[in-house]
A = this chain, B = another copy of it.
């Protein structure tokens, strides 16, 4: 096959940042996706409807494309009220994003004890209002066990709030796949980089800070479980890139930030990966149908066509070293309507 057309692909986990950085990176997402879930962990985090809507309007202006739908998220914090949630829902915000405190970029304002009575009350409100709860699912334990250790809390929430849709973001551990399959109300997103790599790629040869991300890459069996889910378009999982630009100087330094800037290469690399694994037929539902069913929304109708023609990834874009920097991908984007 020499061309592949993807209808309304969606990126259900995206960091666009703000200001000049956002203006520099947004085109990569706009040109490849119909819709994207935009994460709220700016500094300061987007803790109320007003700040989310203002951010949305900056995004719409920068995107400059009627056929790109940003799905906005509200930053979970312990001060959330029913009024705030209702207001957010009314304003079109469907997703609350929860970061356990201190576990990733700009998560200082997240909750510390997820199962405290205060948080349980807020989860009940989110369920009642009919919003989605999206979770960065890690404990504060040993780095390779963090997602697994979080699963206990995740299961408790699934059982206590059966009508609350729970999304475990950027699944990295094979055992998460099992748990997500276990409950009607649990779902996951999967990144390109967790489909491609294990801890070996980060640090098996030289250490590669531009591959450093959270949750951490895990074992081959973990990557392989994610591949089975993605290559079969498992109905519980949608694609979420977690593309997260950091300036080169924040990655090549003594204390490197976590995050992989994959936005420039997403569709070409996904087509290449799915083709190599004889799973091309499942890329369309993984990228679109699963997302629209799980999140219940209608993305703008678009057709993105890729052609089998080498695409040499640049070393960096906008001062940010790209994922797969300087590598050659066998597919290129031909047109994006």
Where the two chains meet, the residues of A that have a C-beta atom closer than 8 Å to any C-beta of B are: 142-144, 198-200, 202-210, 212, 216, 219-220, 252-258, 321, 325
Contact = CB atoms under 8 A, between A and B. Distances in A.
Contacts of A255: 205-208
Contact of A143 (B142, B204, B208): B204
B198 A257 contact: no
A143 B220 CA distance: 11
Given A203-B212, A207-B209, A212-B203, A219 B142 contact: yes
B257 A254 contact: no
Given A252-B253, A321-B254, A143 B206 contact: no
Nearest to A210: B254
A253 B216 CA distance: 20
Contacts of A200: 142-143
A321 to B, nearest CB: 7
A210 B219 CA distance: 23
Contacts of A253: 252
15 contacts: A143-B203, A144-B144, A203-B203, A206-B256, A206-B258, A207-B209, A207-B212, A208-B255, A208-B256, A209-B209, A209-B256, A210-B254, A252-B252, A252-B253, A252-B254
Nearest to A325: B254
A184 to B, nearest CB: 34
A32 B105 CA distance: 41
B142 A209 contact: no
A330 to B, nearest CB: 23
Given A203-B203, A203-B216, A207-B256, 14 more contacts: A142-B198, A142-B199, A142-B220, A143-B199, A143-B200, A144-B144, A203-B212, A207-B209, A207-B255, A208-B254, A208-B255, A210-B254, A252-B252, A254-B321
Interface pairs A-B: 10 shortest CB-CB: A206-B255, A207-B256, A207-B212, A143-B204, A143-B200, A252-B252, A252-B253, A207-B209, A142-B200, A143-B199
Contacts of A220: 142
Contacts of A205: 255
Nearest to A219: B142
Contacts of A202: 203
A298 to B, nearest CB: 40
Contacts of A143: 199-200, 203-204
Nearest to A205: B255
A258 B207 contact: yes
A220 B143 CA distance: 11
